[in-house]
């Protein structure tokens, strides 16, 4: 009853039959959720193809326009800025092959390999891409091109984290 025009029929529809709490998911990465598909794809490419930061000529990300609107910080210097930087998150995911709180600490944000790779990350707004989707191309210096499309980010309702992944996430914090 706090909104101006509450819809009581919508609030009480399927009461006792539908439980919205069952739609809750866990966030796998400690940053803005719109960056999750980018991280997911960059980790996949880095681990699957053993990509080293120095071998990367360019990273091209096709993302929903909202992602650029919220996270287009090219040169973050602090933890808070890095958590809202698609450029840092992509570079850090390739360098570290994971994203935890550690990859947003200021010394990691200032790591020379991360800084260098961050300058080679490009983002293109594509309204045909959903907010939980990303298309990633990593172009290597040897001319090879690696591609990965993230249909739904890890941790989304369509691709929830497994119990093992959730446990690993929380153990990382201990």
pLDDT digits (tens, 9 = 90+) for 152-166: 988 888 888 888 988
Distance CA 165, CA 65 (A): 29
Share of the chain above pLDDT 90, in %: 70
Report the pLDDT value the prediction gives residue 14, as an integer from 0 to 100: 84
Rg (CA), the chain: 18
36: left (phi over 0), alpha (psi -120 to 50) or beta: alpha
Domain 26-172 = CATH 3.30.450.20: no
Distances (CA, A) of 46 to 82, 83, 101, 123, 146: 20, 20, 19, 18, 10
Sites in the chain below the pLDDT cut of 70? 1-3, 173-174
Cα torsion through 94, 100, 114, 85, rounded to 10: 100
Report the pLDDT value the prediction gives residue 90, as an integer from 0 to 100: 98
Report the pLDDT value the prediction gives residue 36, as an integer from 0 to 100: 96
Report the pLDDT value the prediction gives residue 133, as an integer from 0 to 100: 95
Report the pLDDT value the prediction gives residue 8, as an integer from 0 to 100: 81
Report the pLDDT value the prediction gives residue 10, as an integer from 0 to 100: 79
Domain ranges of the chain: 26-172
Report the pLDDT value the prediction gives residue 100, as an integer from 0 to 100: 94
Report the pLDDT value the prediction gives residue 74, as an integer from 0 to 100: 96
pLDDT digits (tens, 9 = 90+) for 113-141: 999 999 999 999 999 999 999 999 999 99
Report the pLDDT value the prediction gives residue 95, as an integer from 0 to 100: 98
Distance CA 172, CA 112 (A): 24
């Amino acid at each position: 009853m706090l909104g101006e025009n509450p819809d009581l029929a919508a609030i009480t529809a399927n009461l006792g039959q539908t439980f919205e709490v069952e739609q809750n998911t866990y966030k796998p990465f400690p940053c803005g959720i719109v960056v999750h598909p980018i991280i997911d794809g960059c980790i996949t490419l880095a681990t699957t193809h053993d990509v080293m930061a120095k071998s990367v000529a360019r990273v091209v990300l096709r993302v929903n326009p909202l992602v650029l609107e919220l996270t287009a910080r090219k040169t973050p210097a602090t933890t808070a800025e890095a958590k809202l930087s698609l450029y840092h998150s992509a570079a850090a995911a390739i360098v570290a092959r994971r994203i935890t709180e550690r990859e947003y600490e200021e010394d990691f944000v200032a790591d020379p390999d991360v800084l260098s790779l961050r300058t080679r990350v490009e983002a293109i707004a594509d309204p045909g891409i959903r907010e939980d989707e990303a298309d990633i191309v990593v172009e290597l210096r040897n001319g090879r091109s690696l591609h990965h499309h993230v249909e739904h980010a890890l941790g989304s309702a369509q691709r929830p984290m497994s119990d093992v992944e959730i446990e690993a996430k929380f153990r990382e914090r201990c």
